[in-house]
Amino acid sequence: MEQAVVITGAAGGIGQTLCQLFKQQGYVVIASDRIEAEGIACDTFVPADLQKLCQVTEYREQVIQTIRGHLPGEELHALINNAAVQIVKSTDDLTVEDWHTTLDVNLVAPFLLTQMLLPELERASGSVVNVASIHAQLTKPGFVCYATSKAALVGLTKSMAIDLGPRIRVNAICPAAVETPMLLAGFEGQQQNLQDLADYHPIKRLAHPMEIAEAAGFLISGKSSFMTGEVLNICGGITARLHDPA
């Protein structure tokens, strides 16, 4: 039977690369995002607003039923929770709405999708990969909401891996800066700042989206069959670096 993978946040730079890689590897790719982007390599696109999915039971059930209707059977080999929102504000400026949006999309939606697709994942002895962030461990001013949500996602990964035991595997990836179109657009006209960001990583460059996708590919493959509750830092050495003032 064909193996299916569900990928959220499929319209973004990492998401599109995830779809491309798994499509090339012969998976049935079910892609999801709020709005469909041109050129997503998938068999099916399922539009989904993840905050609404968290808040409206009928909508959540509708999205899940749509996903199930596109599975090539009753099994799901992998769920990749890649979608995220990043609200950059200081502690003084964050609102309750900012927190609800961030936690719904970055934390609650991955839990609910895993919970509701658990029967299909279990039938396939499948895997969940949560795309967290280096901000789960190391952060900077303005990222209070985002860093908190990603740290919680790492905690969710470990907790669900233990709770679900041998039924499915649950792992996470924590990338540092990735060379996506969104990141590059944010540095338009600021080439030196972009270079400084790259140089901040000991490897002296940004990650390529395909490097993140290939890590996810490893985690859902049989090559990682003894791995669950693990967190892979794909960070160019940044977590090992000591930053002294001089």
Catalytic residues, by residue number, are 146
- What residues are paired with 172 via a beta bridge? 130, 231
Characterize the bridge pairing of strands 169-175 and 127-131. Answer: parallel
Token pair in block for residue 139: 């952060």
The count of other CB atoms within 10 Å of the CB of residue 224 is 18
CA angle 43, 48, 54 (to 5 degrees): 140
Q: CB neighbours of 154 closer than 8 A, spacing ≥ 6? A: 130, 132, 136, 172, 174, 231
Strand order in the sheet with 28-33: 44-47, 28-33, 4-8, 78-81, 127-131, 169-175, 231-234
- What residues are paired with 233 via a beta bridge? 174
Place of tokens 């590059």: 184
Closest listed residue to residue 131, CA positions, set 185, 85, 66: 85
Closest listed residue to residue 170, CA positions, set 227, 233, 113: 227
Backbone angles phi, psi at 215, to 5 degrees: -65, -40
